[in-house]
Each structure stands twice: as structure tokens, then as C-alpha cells.
């Protein structure tokens, strides 16, 4: 919160003290909370005993679970994207939060962020924003071949695929596993990284989206997102603005 006082001289010779209150919201924190709350709802479903449910009731529970997992993944990527945008905005406004960062480096970032053409840093892709910010702060950039960076890149690809979904025909096989051929492109990239959805892991349904979109995927997504943003803040020598939330997750 920001508080500003000033005095105003009135026509009758008296002085009036004025006060202005302002506040700034960091919505990345809400995205983080949302992701955790949604995956917790998925956990309650997947770890419950629904063995006696059949037909429509089981299908509705599966659909409810899918809604929570999808929302958690969307919120997780929103957390990553909002985190870097909020920091760059604070640098542009020379906010007290970034006062420990070198002045000349901040100016270089501000100049690139404030550009009014397509070259503005604001218009860059999310991961390029993180890398360019590290470069301009003279900090080590992420190794783009590292598991963490590749996982976050996959998360963004997963979110984009869900957001701009295009239906396609995928093979189904025995009651126990999907065929390896004619599967969604994300199958080879994501398979084996997390536990499959309890609703489909023993079925012949395709890996994506059926087996993929479960509690395990949502947990994997949030863990990698937090590790990535944590590591970014470590590299620039700043504390995160969500430590108070982390303790309650």
C-alpha cells in the first residue's frame, strides 16, 4: 500500500492536510492459490472410494475431476506468466520492491518493456521474458536443455493445447494400455512424468487427454512452476512475493 500526504492552502488562510491511499495487487499470488485449491479438489476425488459408482454417476465424477485438473493447469501457467509480468512492470515503474536491482540494468529493462512497437518486451513469449530479464540483469540464464526448463516449456505447450483444443482421432487398444501409434503429439513428451488419472489408467483410452489429465499431472505442473519461479528469483537475488502463501500450501 502507498500513502501520500500533502498540504493545501485554503482561501481563508487555513491549511488542509490531504491524504491519498493506493494499493497494488499481485494477481500471480491468487493464481498460485487457485492452482493449489483446484488440485486439492482433484486429490479428494482421486483418493476417494468410488468403486461402487457406475455409469452416469462415475462419468459425472470423472468430469468434475477433469474440470478441477484443467483449472489447476490454467492457473499454474497464469502464475508463471503473471510473475514475470509483475516484476517487469515494477521495474518499469521503479517500484520499491525492485530497489535492490542495479539501476543501469533496470533502465535497460524499462526501455525494452516500454517500447511502443512489436519489439516491446511486454509482447515477448513468457520464457523469453524470463531469459531476457536474466540477461539484462547480468545473471545466468536458464539452460534450455535442463529438465526444469523443458518441463515448464511442456507445461505451456499443454496449456496452449487445452486452450486451443483441436479434436483428433487417437487409437484405443486393450483394456490395459493404449497403442503407441496414432497418439497425440504430447504423449511421447509427457508420458512417464506423473501418475495417470485414476479414472483411465487401466483403460484402453488414449494417453491424451484421458489418462494425462488427472491429479498427478496437476501436481507435477504446480511443482515445476514453483521450482522455476523460485530459481528465477534466486538468480536475480530477490525474495519472491509469495513466500507467505507457500507456507499454507
* pLDDT above 90: percentage of residues in the chain: 71
Confidence of residue 72 (pLDDT cuts 50, 70, 90): very high
pLDDT of residue 24: 78
Grid cell in block for residue 220: 507435477
Cell of 167: 479434436
CA distance 157 to 184: 13
Cβ proximity of 235 and 134 under 8 Å: yes
Dmax of the chain from CA atoms? 90
Closest CA to 217 of 28, 30, 68: 68
Instruction: Evaluate the CA torsion angle 95, 98, 101, 105 in order and state its sign.
Output: negative
What is the distance between the alpha carbons of residues 225 and 74, in angstroms, rounded to a whole number? Answer: 12
The Cα 164–Cα 237 span in angstroms is 36
pLDDT for the residue 155: 97
Which tens digits make up the pLDDT trace of 197-227?
999 998 889 999 999 999 999 999 999 999 9
Give the predicted TM-score (pTM) of the model: 0.88
For 218, the grid coordinates are: 496437476
Give residue 163's Cα distance to chain centre.
14
CA atoms of 164 and 50, how far apart (whole Å): 32
Distance, CA of 177 to chain centre: 31
What are the pLDDT digits (tens) for 9-31?
766 666 666 555 566 789 999 99
Q: Give the span between the Cα atoms of 87 and 203, in whole angstroms.
A: 44
Residue 36, helix vs strand vs coil? helix
Amino acid at each position: 500500500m502507498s500513502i501520500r500526504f500533502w498540504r493545501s492552502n485554503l482561501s481563508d488562510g487555513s491549511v488542509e492536510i490531504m491524504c491519498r491511499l493506493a494499493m497494488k495487487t499481485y494477481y500471480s499470488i491468487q493464481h498460485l492459490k487457485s492452482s493449489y485449491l483446484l488440485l486439492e479438489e482433484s486429490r479428494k476425488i482421486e483418493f476417494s472410494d468410488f468403486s461402487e459408482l457406475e455409469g452416469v454417476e462415475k462419468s459425472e465424477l470423472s468430469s468434475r475431476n477433469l474440470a478441477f485438473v484443467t483449472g489447476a493447469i490454467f492457473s499454474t501457467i497464469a502464475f508463471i506468466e503473471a510473475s514475470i509480468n509483475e516484476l517487469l512492470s515494477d521495474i518499469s515503474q521503479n517500484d520499491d520492491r525492485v530497489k535492490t536491482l542495479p539501476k543501469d540494468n533496470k533502465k535497460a529493462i524499462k526501455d525494452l518493456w516500454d517500447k511502443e512497437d512489436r519489439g516491446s518486451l511486454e509482447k515477448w513469449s513468457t520464457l523469453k521474458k524470463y531469459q531476457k530479464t536474466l540477461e539484462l540483469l547480468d545473471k545466468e540464464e536458464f539452460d534450455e536443455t535442463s529438465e526444469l526448463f523443458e518441463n515448464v516449456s511442456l507445461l505451456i505447450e499443454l496449456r496452449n493445447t487445452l486452450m486451443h483444443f483441436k479434436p483428433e482421432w487417437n487409437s484405443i487398444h486393450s483394456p490395459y494400455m493404449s497403442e503407441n501409434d496414432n497418439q497425440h503429439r504430447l504423449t511421447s513428451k509427457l508420458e512417464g512424468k506423473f501418475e495417470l488419472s485414476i479414472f483411465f489408467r487401466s483403460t484402453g483410452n488414449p494417453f491424451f487427454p484421458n489418462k494425462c489429465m488427472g491429479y498427478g499431472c496437476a501436481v507435477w505442473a504446480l511443482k515445476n512452476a514453483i521450482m522455476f519461479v523460485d530459481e528465477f528469483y534466486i538468480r536475480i537475488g530477490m525474495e519472491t512475493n509469495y513466500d507467505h502463501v507457500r507456507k499454507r500450501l
